[in-house]
Amino acid sequence: MSTDRQETSTTPSSPPVQTDAPEPSCNEELYAGHLGKAGGAQVWLVWLRRLLFGAGQIANDQLLRQFFALLDARMRALYIAAEPSAPQDARLAEVKMCLQPPYNWRKAYHIELLLVELHGPEIIDAEIARRVEEADHAGIPRAAFYRQSQGESLSLTGKRKLLGDLVDDLQWFYTKRFLRREYAQMLAGRLSLWFALALLTFFGVIWFDVLPGLQPPTDGGEAAAVPEEIGPFFAIWVVLASGFLGAAFSMLVQSRQRVSTGTMEDVVAGTSWRTILVRTGVGLGAALILLFFFESGLLEGSVWPDLEDLRGGFESKEDHPVPNLTLSLLVIWSVIAGFSESFVPNLLLATEGKANQP
């Protein structure tokens, strides 16, 4: 990097001095606004990205550009303060190359680690203190260790090692937080889509099995006609659709607790389609088992549906068809069976206990 530094000397023993700043390494793309100079075409592109990825993606791009601008300014400040040497020149050349587009957070963190070795004795203490305060505020696990090590008498190499470890821990903390937020958004999106599919399935069962037999009220004042009988598999379709709805609603509710209190592994596992399908299968199986409990007469009482009274599933009330009591109870208990992972298993254990009694 001999073109970046010039040395002048009055005597052979005089130290080299810097006479120029580094070449501008940042093109207009780094410091341009979000719309840059592209005009209307890029405006439409921004709106398209906002529609597809939400405002979070655009905000992330803006933060990334700002961070690269700060890294560029920090590199220039360190260039002025650094002692001229071949290793320093090589490190600065690598940093300048990394500052070129495309921009991403992995490259930004790499630049931060490269800049650690450019800190001289005049500024490294202040940088360590700043980073220790940042670690305390972020709450990283080793923050107390870094604060204790800050007061120890270390050589410049030791201080650079301490600063490098501190920067590395901070980067890992921010990376995990960013990934957690990304996976949380993915989890919310997938479970919302799955819940919408469950709703469509439930109403689809009602639509294709019941509504074709409904007749609206006539002009002569006659009430709406409801079907007296429905298909032989209507109860099975209803409990499966209701179990699906309960399982999807359960996952949607538990997702907030998983994100707020669960580990990173819990959030990642929750986004897996395999996990979603397994949980849905549990809900479907539980609802179907509960249906046979109703059919067998093992569950009796006013709170349980009597399937003999299911008939057409609907009744006429105030000239409008509404679900009858049996259908309502069947849907409610099937949703509960799909929602709770312990309801039907506990019911099976209780039945087994009764069967084992002498």
Q: Where are the domains of the chain?
A: 28-179, 183-216+224-351
Query: Does residue 165 surpass a pLDDT of 60?
Result: yes
- pLDDT of the residue at 249: 96
What mean pLDDT is predicted for residues 326-333? 90
User: Of 164 and 221, which is predicted with more confidence?
Assistant: 164
Query: Does residue 76 surpass a pLDDT of 70?
Result: yes
Phi and psi (nearest 5°) for 319? 65, 15
Least confident of 76-90, 172-186, 195-209: 76-90
Please provide the average confidence, as pLDDT, over all residues in the chain: 78
Least confident of 9-13, 68-72, 154-158, 275-279: 9-13
pTM over 0.75: no
Given a contact cutoff of 8 angstroms between Cβ atoms, the answer to whether 85 and 118 are in contact is no
What mean pLDDT is predicted for residues 274-282? 95
- pLDDT of the residue at 10: 36
Question: 55-81 and 105-116 are packed helices; what angle lies between their axes, rounded to 10 degrees?
Answer: 20
Q: Token match 């940088």: residue?
A: 127
Q: Token match 């890029």: residue?
A: 42
Given a contact cutoff of 8 angstroms between Cβ atoms, the answer to whether 329 and 274 are in contact is no
What mean pLDDT is predicted for residues 234-257? 93
Given a contact cutoff of 8 angstroms between Cβ atoms, the answer to whether 71 and 167 are in contact is no
What percent of the chain is predicted at pLDDT more than 90?
A: 28
Cα–Cα distance measured from residue 347 to residue 358, given in angstroms and rounded to the nearest whole number:
19
Residue 286, classified by CB atoms within 10 Å of its CB into exposed (0-12), middle (13-18) or buried (19+), is buried
Given a contact cutoff of 8 angstroms between Cβ atoms, the answer to whether 146 and 135 are in contact is yes
Alpha helices in the chain (DSSP H): 28-31, 40-53, 55-81, 86-98, 105-116, 124-138, 143-150, 156-209, 234-261, 264-270, 273-296, 325-339, 343-356
